[in-house]
Structure 1
């Protein structure tokens, strides 16, 4: 079994489970899938990739809230766009720090916050649990791939 097929199988199973968990806990299923996607796209693998994706997702939530809350004090529409540009500058500049260098993760957290109308209290746990599910999807897929290869090499599982 290829690595892709193994990860696809575990991702399919855990995606269904995530849908149930999200509804059961009152989380945003779509935001959890963003957290999962962020992990899969992270520049590092394993726990380090998970931490990088979560840290950048959460920094994105912070920056989105700066735009949302800052915009409440600005009466001119054009100045809210200037604020968005300035905050976006900082979202990118923070990438000078290695743990914040995954810029897509920052934008995922920010976009999720805007999509949830600034409800960061709901976005944060959804992104975190979704990221954990992404880690579980890939890790269990790699385990499945390894076990299937061991069985195949031992002659227990024959492919034709």
Structure 2
């Protein structure tokens, strides 16, 4: 069984479980899938990729809240919202010089989830972070399954 098929199997099973968990806990399943996506897309894997994905998503949540609350200070100056968005988007990219904030798409995932969730960070944060845990479990259980199948195939081939 190749790696892609193994990851597909574990991702399919755990995606169904995530859907049930999200509904059971009152979380946003779509935001959790964004957390999964962040882990899968992060160039670093393993625990390092988990922490980088988590840190960047949480920074994105914070940046989105800054834009939302900053724009609310002067709602009659619509241009302020656009300027703040531009400045913050610049800062979201510049922060990538720090290792734990180096995954720029993760930052934008966190920000977009916050905008889509209308700034309800108390719901967005656990949804994203538990989704990240599921993404880690999906990919790494798939890698484990592929390695196990490869070991079994090698033992069978050697014993023949």
TM over 0.5: yes
After TM superposition, the score normalised by the length of structure 2 is 0.95
Q: 1:132 & 1:12 partners in 2: Cα distance?
A: 15
- Is 1:124 aligned to 2:111, yes or no? no
SS at match of 1:155: helix
Q: 2:104 & 2:154 partners in 1: Cα distance?
A: 41
Q: Counterpart in 1 of 2:84?
A: 83
Q: Counterpart in 2 of 1:95?
A: 96
Give CA-to-partner distance per residue, 1:4-32, whole Å, 9 cap, x none: 00000000000000000000001110000
SS at match of 1:140: helix
- Is 1:66 aligned to 2:43, yes or no? no
Q: Counterpart in 1 of 2:110?
A: 109
Stretches of structure 2 lacking an aligned partner (at least 5 in a row): none
Shift of 1:68: 0.5
Q: 2:82 & 2:147 partners in 1: Cα distance?
A: 50
After TM superposition, the score normalised by the length of structure 1 is 0.95
Decide which moves more: 72-81 or 103-112: 72-81
Q: 1:87 & 1:137 partners in 2: Cα distance?
A: 32
Q: 2:149 & 2:94 partners in 1: Cα distance?
A: 44
Q: 1:54 & 1:48 partners in 2: Cα distance?
A: 10
Q: Counterpart in 2 of 1:143?
A: 144
